[in-house]
Chain A
Amino acid sequence: MLPVAAFWTSLGLNYNTSVVLLGTILIGFTSGMLGVFLLLRRRALIGDAIAHATLPGVAIAFLWLALNNMEKSLPTLFLGAATSGGLGGATVLAFRHWLNIREDAALGIVLSVFFGAGIAFRKIVQEQSGNSSGLDSFIYGKAASIGSDDVWSAAIAGIIVVSMLLLFVKELKLLCFDAELAASQGFPVLLLDALLITMVVVVTMIGLQAVGTILIIALLVIPAASARFWTNQLSIMLAISSTFGAASCAAGTLLSASYDKLPSGATIVLTACSFFMISFVFGIKRGTLWRTLRVWQMRRDHDFLHVLRSIYELLEVRHALPDKVTGELRSTLAVTLQEVARQRGWHEAKVRQLAQRMAVSGLVVFDDEDRLQLTPRGILRALNSVRDHRLLELYMVEEAEADVSQADREADYLEHGLEPEHLAELAEKLDDSSASTPPPSPHDFDSSRDSAE
């Protein structure tokens, strides 16, 4: 019947589990992809309200089936879910449009009232049919109840939704980024929004059995939000999000299968959440780890430059600067750690630590007698840094009319944000003819530097 499931069975997986796994993976993949657009269009909460609103429809369908002594029939349940879910979505829109009720309030009302009605119907179902476990699996999700029929309907719905998304990817992208441009170019914004919401209803319908009405929103939102940490490109975000969705569903299903009492809805959401946590720490584009590392590295670079500049300034006072023409060090004069510390107003321990790291980076030679000497690479960096700093200082004094004693510190702060075009502009503005050598400092060194930073 299901070739993929048969293949997994041959790998030693129980056939029923294979079927369930296949079903949930399809659901996860589809909702992961749809979720990206829902998130970017900022419609995630409407998705949640619609999902909750499917419950009364499902319950009524159950009731109808029970009263007619019929077996569980998917089309009937889907019809019930789609009708009441659609009604819920329409109610939100109507509230906002005609009653001027704010969207968050409208969502809160629809979500709770529809779900409440569903819970009330559940009691009636229980009385009519003796038990409500079938219905309960739609509330909390029971992937184990997925049969091969469900897999087929999930596959069909999934293929339809995914191909619609890919077909309309250009239009949906425009809608999500700039609905006003879309409207002015003649794309029907309302219709595109309706398409998105319809797909949410479809995904909710096929996802109900696996994760349930309460948690289906997790499959729409969490994979998409996780994917955002890894990429700045929509196409890649779609691929990552659907992969995360499929993987969370697979892992969650297996987890739920190995611990009998765990509802699959819960395990799927929790595995999706672990993907989210991994993403927000390690995600290469927006993850916190890389961001922290970048900040740390930036601070270190700034500190390096400050030390280099201090050495340069100390040499300058002693007229022991590198030769302006050849850039070669005229003397091998070294400065001491203590001198640098005093110049910067930093603790010696801090300077020592930096000096050791800078020695490793090949910017200075740091010897046993606490003396620092610039390497050729260090000289180059120091020259550039001093030049940037002085240009900024001059700018602050001449153009921004800053106090001479303040200019140094403000330049300290600003110089790291300078981009090449700013520097070119500064040099031009200050009529700096010496292209690569720093201008003289507008202040002398002892008076201005008390306790910088």
Chain B
Amino acid sequence: MSSDATIPLSIRDLTVAYHRKPVLWNVSLEVPSGSLVGLVGPNGAGKSTLLKAVVGMVPRISGEVTVYGENYAANRRRVAYVPQRETVDWDFPATALDVVMMGTYGKLGWFRRAGTRQRQSATDALRKMEIEHLAHRQISQLSGGQQQRTFLARSLVQDADLYFMDEPFAAVDAATERAIITLLRELRRQGKTIIVVHHDLHSVPEYFDRLILLNLRLVASGPTSEVFTEANLQKTYGGKLTLLEEVGEAMRRRERGS
């Protein structure tokens, strides 16, 4: 296992399957410290799955993942994961502040309650996202952009070194998009590493200094200036990877015995 503690994320030969249908094949990549990385690929390319496999939410069939030179569990406290906004129920009885406080739970560990210090850091994070005035608003009454800002504020209180964000720009207003990208750049300036699942190819060169192009397998990973090429995009988005899909289907069929 690579044990370079300065490398935020290193993935080697990662293969992941859902219900035994492989959705990621043999992904190997490294992300250097202090970079803002776009994770780009078509729908169903396995972008979210890659993040979830790293944080141990989906089982991996094979491969190694190291976070700052150790396995994820050992360095969990240095990682903040921001799921897609639609994965949670925004009707939940909680205020924006409550949700942001949840970011402190991991460091608090079992049983210990959040106190004044946690509340203070949550309030600070809300201020950074410019929604301090909404701290006590019921989350169902927040706009989509405000909900996304709440999620990002929650990841800020986790005070991590490596951030995984699943489509933070999806369905937000222009002002929120600007606020988010400002935040991401600020984090990078502080030497943090951020990996962002992203859909809008137009803003890719402007937003990210590195790219991971993914479509069931790794198409390319590296500095945007080198990787963001017509040929690579063609490989990522053009011609479907029919063979990989067919193999996956065949494995499923064989297993069901039909």
B-contacting residues of A (Cβ < 8 Å)? 40, 42, 100, 167-168, 170-171, 173-174, 176-178, 180-187, 228, 231-234, 237
Q: Which residue among A40, A168, A231, A237 has the maximum number of chain B CB atoms within 10 Å of its CB?
A: A40
**Contact (Cβ within 8 A) B83 A185:** no
Interface string of B62-89 (1 = CB under 8 A from A): 0000000000010010010101000111
Which residue of B56, B83, B113 is within 8 Å of A181 (Cβ)? B83
- Contact partners of B158 in chain A: CB under 8 A: 185
List 26 interface pairs A-B (beta carbons < 8 Å), by A numbering: A40-B92, A100-B19, A170-B105, A170-B111, A170-B113, A171-B110, A174-B105, A176-B92, A177-B88, A177-B89, A178-B83, A178-B88, A181-B83, A181-B103, A182-B105, A183-B56, A183-B57, A184-B55, A184-B81, A185-B158, A186-B76, A228-B93, A231-B93, A232-B94, A232-B95, A234-B93
Interface of A is mostly: helix
How many residues of chain B are within 8 Å of chain A by beta carbon?
31
With A40-B92, A177-B92 already in contact, the answer to whether A170 and B81 are too (CB < 8 A) is: no
Known pairs A177-B99, A177-B102, A178-B102; A234 contacts B83 (CB<8 A): no
Write out the residue numbers on chain A whose beta carbons fall within 8 Å of the beta carbon of B88.
177-178
**Cβ-closest chain B residue relative to A232:** B138
- Chain A residues whose CB sits within 8 angstroms of the CB of B5 once the complex forms: none
Residues on B with C-beta less than 8 A from A185 are 76, 105-106, 158
10 other A-B residue contacts (CB within 8 Å) besides A180-B81, A181-B81, A182-B105: A40-B92, A100-B19, A177-B92, A177-B102, A181-B154, A184-B79, A185-B158, A232-B138, A233-B95, A234-B98
In angstroms, Cα B93 to Cα A168, docked, is: 17
| Cβ-defined partner of B105 (8 Å) among A171, A176, A237 | A171
Residue of B nearest to A167 (CB): B111
**B25-39 contact mask (Cβ, 8 Å, vs A): 1 or 0:** 000000000000000
Check B114 for interface membership: any CB of A closer than 8 A. yes
Q: Tell me the chain B residues, 167-181 only, with Cβ under 8 Å from chain A.
A: none
Chain B nearest Cβ from A414, distance in angstroms? 15
Q: In whole angstroms, what is the CA distance A305 to B55 when docked?
A: 54
Most buried by B among A168, A185, A186, A228: A185
The answer to whether A232 touches B87 (Cβ under 8 A) is no
When A183-B56, A231-B93 are in contact, do A174 and B138 touch as well, CB less than 8 Å?
A: no
Closest chain A CB from B45 CB (angstroms)? 19
Q: Are A170 and B108 within 8 A (Cβ)?
A: yes
Roughly how many angstroms separate A187 CA and B99 CA in the complex, as a whole number? 17
Name the B residues within 8 Å of A176 (CB-CB). 92
Residues in A whose Cβ lies below 8 Å from that of B55 = 183-184
A170 with B114: CB separation less than 8 A = yes
Q: Which of B56, B79, B87, B102 has the most CB of A within 10 A?
A: B102
CB distance from B257 to the nearest CB of A (A): 13
Q: Which residue on chain B has the smallest CB distance to residue A184?
A: B81
Q: Is the CB–CB distance between A233 and B93 below 8 Å? A: yes
Q: Are A237 and B57 in contact (CB under 8 A)?
A: no
Chain B hits for A42, CB < 8 A: 89
B231 CB → nearest A CB, Å: 35
Say whether, besides A178-B83, A185-B76, A234 and B114 are in contact (CB < 8 Å): no
Q: Within the complex, what minimum Cβ distance (angstroms) separates B214 from chain A?
A: 20
Complex Cα gap A172–B39 (Å): 32
Task: Give chain B residues whose Cβ lies under 8 Å from the Cβ of A170.
Answer: 105, 108, 111, 113-114
For B108, the closest partner residue in chain A by CB is A170
Residues in B whose Cβ lies below 8 Å from that of A231: 93
**Complex Cα distance A181/B166, Å?**
12
Complex interface: chain A residues within 8 A of B108 (CB)? 170
Which residues on the A side are within 8 Å of B87 (C-beta)?
A: 178, 180
Closest A residue to B73 by CB, please name it.
Answer: A186
**How long is the Cα–Cα vector from A171 to B111 in the complex, in angstroms?**
8
Closest Cβ neighbor of A238 among chain B residues: B93
In B121-179, the 8 Å CB interface with A consists of 138, 154, 158
Chain A residues whose CB sits within 8 angstroms of the CB of B57 once the complex forms: 180, 183-184
Task: List A contacts of B73 (CB < 8 A).
Answer: 186
